Amino acid sequence: MKVDLHMHSTASDGQHRPEELIRLAKDADLDVMALTDHDTLSGLKEACEAGQACGLHVIPGIELSAMEYDNLHILGYALSPDNAELQELCAFALAERERHTLYIIDFLRRKGIQIDLEEVKALAGQAAIGRPHFARIMVEHGYVENSREAFDRYLDTEEYHRVDRKKPPAQVCIETIHKAGGFAVLAHPYQLYLEPGPLEEQIRTFKSYGLDGIECLYPKHSPEQKALYLQLAQKYQLHVTAGSDFHGQQVHKKDRIIPTDLDIEWILKNR
């Protein structure tokens, strides 16, 4: 079964509307894909309807940001978008994103970069505003040559992260996903930047919270990292998932959908 379980649409910070993303996934010969927008459920209805229309199995998902590390994300799969507690968590995240948008504008202004809030809103459209939107505008105005430079010099620095938006702890993310009937998976573990020992200790803690799996198969994982994550998944009896983290080539130039042969019957059966 060819799957890609980590994809983003314009509902968060992706390039393509959910319906367009489904067409791209179908053209890439996927059998199953998961829409996992950041901290929002707003694209799931359109994605699931588009999937039914073209014969592609769409798993309703989400990618929740957690507080313990700057890039700690918990993926949720096969969840109910109607769950009240999950909706409340998303509403909290949206409010924090809106507050943090003003912080980014002020932060960049102090660096000599003038970004107009209305321009950011126009670019984001109905999506939640995120750093990739600022990066694209910085490129368009000539402040940086590409999005990677925008992140390396401004939007992913230690100084930037000194004032970050409030996020729920990982335990709340995992438990809320479970309450919505879903499965909770640690996304791209390399982004925690932990040595093997501390990483294993952290995964053991997440397992105690109810973590169901690890995204072991990810484009930026080195062979050594992949082997470590697979070993940890086996040791702690966690499921293995695979995802491209696709946003679109206007967001990340090298992005592509990556079909991976993987048995995910445990997700398809639901809880």
**Domains in the chain: boundaries:** 2-82+181-268, 91-161
Q: Give the C-alpha separation, 120 to 130, whole Å.
A: 9
Q: Which CATH architecture is the domain 91-161 placed in?
A: Orthogonal Bundle (1.10)
Residue 20: pLDDT band with limits 50, 70, 90: very high
Strand 260-261 and strand 2-7: the pairing is antiparallel
Note the pLDDT tens digit of each residue in 92-121: 998 888 888 999 999 999 999 999 999 999
Mean pLDDT (the chain) is 94
Tell me the pLDDT band of 145, cut-offs 50, 70 and 90: very high
- 2-82+181-268: CATH topology is TIM Barrel (3.20.20)
- The secondary structure of residue 128, as a DSSP letter, is P
Under a CB-based contact definition with an 8 Å cutoff, are residues 250 and 259 in contact? Answer: no
Helix, strand or coil for residue 102? Answer: helix
Mean pLDDT of 174-192: 98
- Round to whole Å and give the CA distance between 60 and 38: 13
pLDDT band at 271 (very low <50, low <70, confident <90, very high): low
pLDDT at 76: 98
pLDDT of residue 112: 96
C-alpha span between 7 and 257 (Å, rounded): 8
Between 94 and 6, the more confident residue is: 6
Q: Does residue 158 have a pLDDT over 90?
A: no
Whether residue 126 has pLDDT greater than 90: no
Segment 191-236, tens digit of pLDDT: 999 999 999 999 999 999 999 999 999 999 999 999 999 999 999 9
- For 177-243, the three-class secondary structure string (H helix, E strand, C coil) is HHHCCCEEEECCHHHHCCCHHHHHHHHHHHHHHCCCEEEEECCCCCHHHHHHHHHHHHHCCCEEEEC
What DSSP element (H or E) covers 110? helix 84-110
